[in-house]
Structure 1
Amino acid sequence: MTNKVVVIFSGGMDSFTVLNRALKDGKEVFALSFDYGQRHVKELKCASKVCEQLNVNHKVIDISAINQLLAGSSLTDDIDIPEGHYEAENMKSTIVPNRNMILISLAVAYAVSVGATQVYYGAHSGDHAIYPDCRPEFVEKMNDVCQIANYEAVEIFSPYLNVSKTAILTDGLAMNLDYSNTWTCYNGREKACGKCGACEERLEAFRDNNAVDPIEYE
C-alpha cells in the first residue's frame, strides 16, 4: 500500500500541525496550497517557507479566477473582516461558498495523479459552529464520495475533526513545532490584528496551553 498522502496546507496553524502529524506518521507528503483570492494571502508565503524548510513537495495553485463565482465573503470581497469570536453571528460573513468542497475535490484529483491514498484536511471542532463544510457530517459524506469518484479510492482524513484548536496546539507543542512560520489572521496586513475570530481562537489556544504565540500582533 502506498505511503503517499496529499495535505491541504493553507499555511495556518491547523494545517501546519496536520502537515507535521502526517510527517510524524511516516507519510510521504505532497502539500497543496490554494490561492483563491483570499485577502490573507500571506498564509501562502508561510506555507512555501515551511515546505522549503521541511523539504516537502509543495504546489501552490492559483484558482483565483473562480472568485467571480464565490461572491459575498469578507475573505475575498471588499467587505470588512468582522471582529469577535467564531460563535458570533457576524462571523458568517467569512464563509466562502463551497470552498472546502472545491479544495478537497482538487486535492483528490492530485492524489489520484500522484498515487496517494489519502487527503489530509485540517477541520476541527472549533469550526463546526460557523462553517458547515468543516462539520463531521460534511467530511464523512465527502469521504464517501471520494471513495467512488475515481477508479482509485481516496480517503478524506481529518485527524483533528472532533477536537478543539487548543487540542491541536497541544499536539503540535508536543511535537516541538515552531508556530512562528504560520499565519492565521483573516486580515492580510503585516501583523496579525488579534481581533478577528481566527486570531481570537488562536490566542485562546495558546493561553489554554500556557504558551506564548511567537507571531507579532498589532
Structure 2
Amino acid sequence: MLKDEKAIVVFSGGQDSTTCLFWALQQFKEVEAVTFDYNQRHSLEIECAKNIANELGVKHHILDMSLLNQLAPNALTRSDIEVKEGEEGELPSTFVPGRNLLFLTFAGVLACQVGAKHLVTGVCETDFSGYPDCRDIFIKSLNVTLNLSMDDNFVIHTPLMWLNKAETWALADELDAFEFVREKTLTCYNGVISDGCGECPACVLRKRGLDDFLSGRF
C-alpha cells in the first residue's frame, strides 16, 4: 500500500484504464487522472472519461495531443480507415505509433508539476494485440528514461500487465467496481458505451473475457 503517495492515472474511460483508476484509488492517498485528446475516432471517449472522473471525485486533466493525429494516420485517428486486426504478422490498423510513449512521457511531466511520483497505466502484454508499446520491456525502459530525463524517481505501475481480459474483469470485481466498469466504460471502436457494438475487435475481446469470467474459465 502506498497510502501516503500521489499517482497520475493515464485514463481513457475504457475498461482497462477505469479498472486501473479504481485500483489506484485503493493504493494511493491522492489520485488524479489524465486523458489525451488526439482527435480520436470518437470524442465520446473524452466525455466518458470526464463523466467517470467526475462521478468518482477524481481531478481530471485533458491534454491536447492533436499533433499525434497529424503524424500517425490509423483507424483510431481517421474515420476512413477500416478497423481490422493485423494479418500475416502485421499490426492491427488501430495501432497508433508512439501513443503510449507520448502519453506516459506527458503524464510524467504532469506528475512532476503536481508532485506525483507514481504513474498508472492499463497496458497489458497478455491481450495486447501485438502493440509493441504495451510490452513490459518497453514500460521498464521508459521508466528509466523518464527518471533520467527529469532527474526524478517516478514509478510506472501496470496492474494489468500479466492479466488476460477475464482476469481484468475479476480484478474489477475484487475492487467492487464490476458493474460500474461494465455499464459506464467505453471500449468499443464504434463508440458504443457499456457492452459495445459486439462486433469490433475491442468488443469481441471484452465479451470473450467477460464470458470467461462469468463462467469461471480463467
Normalised-by-shorter TM-score class = 0.7 to 0.9
User: Counterpart of 1:140?
Assistant: 140
State the TM-score, normalized to the length of structure 2.
0.87
| 2:9 is equivalent to residue 4 of structure 1 | no
CA–CA distance in structure 1, aligned partners of residues 164 and 193 of structure 2: 27
Structure 1 residues 87 and 170: CA distance shift in structure 2, 3 A: farther
Correspondence 1:58-97 to 2 at 5 A: 58-71=60-73, 73-77=74-78, 78-82=80-84, 92-97=92-97
CA–CA distance in structure 2, aligned partners of residues 145 and 190 of structure 1: 36
State the TM-score, normalized to the length of structure 1.
0.87
CA–CA distance in structure 1, aligned partners of residues 89 and 184 of structure 2: 30
Residues 32 and 107 of structure 1 are in contact (CA less than 8 Å); yes or no, is this contact kept in structure 2?
yes
CA–CA distance in structure 2, aligned partners of residues 105 and 68 of structure 1: 19
Deviation at 1:128, TM superposition (A): 3.5
Deviation at 1:198, TM superposition (A): 0.8
Residues 34 and 61 of structure 1 are in contact (CA less than 8 Å); yes or no, is this contact kept in structure 2?
yes
CA–CA distance in structure 1, aligned partners of residues 91 and 203 of structure 2: 12
Instruction: State the Cα deviation string for residues 49-86 of structure 1 (Å, max 9, x = none).
Output: 11111111101122124311112x1111220112x6x8
| 2:52 is equivalent to residue 45 of structure 1 | no
CA–CA distance in structure 2, aligned partners of residues 189 and 19 of structure 1: 21
User: Counterpart of 1:122?
Assistant: 122
Structure 1 residues 182 and 190: CA distance shift in structure 2, 3 A: closer
Identity across the alignment (%) = 36
Higher relative contact order (CA 8 A, sep 6+): 1
Deviation at 1:173, TM superposition (A): 1.2
Return the letter of the residue paired with 2:146: C
Q: Could you list the runs of 5+ residues in structure 2 that have no partner in the other structure?
A: none
Report the secondary structure of 1:60's partner residue.
Answer: strand
User: Counterpart of 2:200?
Assistant: 196
CA–CA distance in structure 2, aligned partners of residues 196 and 96 of structure 1: 17
Residues 7 and 19 of structure 1 are in contact (CA less than 8 Å); yes or no, is this contact kept in structure 2?
yes
C-alpha RMSD over aligned residues? 2.2
User: Counterpart of 1:99?
Assistant: 99
CA–CA distance in structure 2, aligned partners of residues 164 and 190 of structure 1: 21
